[in-house]
């Protein structure tokens, strides 16, 4: 869902596609879409969010293996 939000946050002119250099949204460059992720790594909720982080890493890895978002690699912190 976060990847989709970054992908639709920019629109290019022309044939309905997104131009790699047309986006000026925060976190989006011509080569990357940067996402922020806040999860607890410790305390009582640390064990609960561990699978969520693994899921995010797996999904972003798949998206990047398939070419990213309009050619941009998706990364998170």
Sketch the domain layout of the chain as residue ranges. Answer: 2-76
Q: How far is CA 46 from CA 28, 32, 57, 75, in A?
A: 30, 29, 16, 22
Rounded mean pLDDT of 18-32?
Answer: 77
Q: How far is CA 62 from CA 27, 38, 57, in A?
A: 20, 21, 9
Q: Which residues does 2 contact at the CB level (< 8 Å), separation at least 6?
A: 35
Q: How confident is the model at residue 18 (pLDDT cuts 50, 70, 90)?
A: very low
pLDDT for position 10? 61
| pLDDT at position 3 over 80 | no
pLDDT for position 52? 86
| pLDDT at position 1 over 70 | no
| pLDDT at position 32 over 90 | yes
């Amino acid at each position: 869902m976060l990847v989709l939000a970054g992908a639709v946050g920019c629109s290019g002119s022309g044939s309905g596609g997104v131009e790699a250099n047309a986006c000026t949204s925060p976190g989006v460059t011509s080569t990357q879409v940067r996402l922020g992720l806040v999860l607890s790594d410790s305390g009582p909720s640390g064990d609960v969010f561990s699978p969520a982080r693994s899921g995010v890493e797996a999904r972003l890895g798949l998206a990047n293996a398939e070419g990213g978002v309009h050619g941009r690699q998706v990364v998170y912190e």
